[in-house]
Copies of this chain bind each other. A is one copy, B any other.
Amino acid sequence: MTKHKNVLYKILSWYKKFQVSKSPQMNLVWGFFLYTVIGFLLLSIPIFHKTSVSFLDTLFISTSAISTTGLVTVSVYDSYNFFGQLIVMVLFQIGGIGYMTLTTYYLLFTTQKIGHWHKKVVGAEFTLPKTIKIRDFVKSVIVFTLIMEVIGAICFFIAFRQTGMETLKAVWFSVFHSVSAFCTAGFGLFNNSFESYSSNALINTIISVLAIAGSLGFIVITDLWYRITGKSNSVSFTTKIITYGFVILLFLGTTLVYFTEPSIRSSDSRLVESFFQAMTAMTTVGFNTISTGNLSLPILLFVTFLMYIGASPSGTAGGMKITTLTAMISILKSRLFGQKRISFLNRTIPFERLYVATSTFMMYTSIIFLFTFLLTFTERFEFQRILFEVASALGTVGLSTGITGDLSNTGKALTIVLMFIGRVGVLTFGFALLERKNKSKEESIEDDLAV
């Protein structure tokens, strides 16, 4: 036993040294990579299987879970037994909380430059009292997450029981889908996602509330909460932008699907299904109630656009983020009106922020084009389906027109890389790639995770 402890201690102390030698960006990349590998190893153990799963498919599921994407090449329910499914859930729970809290926590404690984040997270910009310590902040986030997931699970349980599901199965399905919805993971135990529940108002509501809360994130939600309950007179500029942007895009998406999508047959639940389609793309949760593969071309493109944008930078959602889009629109707007100062809603946006937004926009868009281009060489599917799959993987959404399982091995490998980049963040990934070349310049790249 002592010997084992010794070995473990040595590995940990080696890893600690390794961490300290790397930039925060590189640490983040290695951290996600480590979790993916651990997930892969656990999911490879045959005792968790119902049927055998190939090497590449196991890596695919592990990456998909850690990145909270939810794309799968094989059915989770058909391939894994209860404990296998539990591991998948733990992985996307780690991935989900990871992005919202561990990332922040980690960056704060592996770098000495916590000034910016500290002020941003605990101080002036958001309405939390200044005295709260970082550790308490992270605790609050985790508590918030667990409370939401417990409430979600209870509601799911009621809903599933109403549909006649047996108790034990309903308990497990409730927990799994509640965590999956809040972490915007989109992993499901039904092989057709929520298509059987497309007109179930309660289930639609539960998923929507959880996914919106998760994707907007703790900071935005508490900011709005303090405003609504009157503990604060106003919300921060960032919260305002995210909320407005989210509501506008959600409204646009719902309206467009409602008035033009021919594949929705039912007229009773047409509005619910339209809302769900826009919501699932924007929050990047990735559950679906109508068949994505049957969507008409214009709607498929609009959903691709929504996945490309995503939601809030403080939540579990992927995508380019509403804040990036807003900064880009501000540049164009200010230019067209001949203004020297770049502003939005009468607030000047600092140069640094525009610089990050433009870089993110360029990097994100280039990666989508590059991978789509590569996949047109390796796959034989329609162009729009390939583009959709790429936007879904990079945005960690998990919607698919049904081609995921039929991807070539190269296609699966490229999708794994996309999900990984999508979760780590395009700029962080870029930095990590170039780390050797700019070691001395960490100072100026400290706040890149905010966009």
Contact = CB atoms under 8 A, between A and B. Distances in A.
Interface stretch (A152-160, A295-303, A404-412): A295-303
A165 interface: no
Nearest to A299: B376
A362 interface: yes
Contacts of A373: 298, 301-302
Contact of A340 (B329, B365, B383, B444): B444
A443 B339 CA distance: 10
A155 B256 CA distance: 55
Of the four ranges (under 10, 10 to 19, 20 to 34, 35 or more), the interface on chain A belongs to: 35 or more
Interface string A324-340: 00001101100111111
A382 interface: yes
A68 B163 CA distance: 64
Q: Is the interface of A mostly helix, strand, loop or mixed?
A: helix
B445 A338 contact: yes
B355 A331 contact: yes
A33 interface: no
A441 B356 contact: no
A376 B336 contact: no
Interface of A: 260, 297-298, 301-302, 305, 328-329, 331-332, 335-340, 342, 351, 355-356, 358-359, 362-363, 365, 369, 372-373, 376-377, 382-384, 427, 430-431, 434, 437-438, 441-445
Q: Which 9 A-B pairs have the closest CB atoms?
A: A338-B441, A335-B359, A298-B376, A383-B384, A332-B362, A338-B445, A297-B376, A336-B430, A338-B438
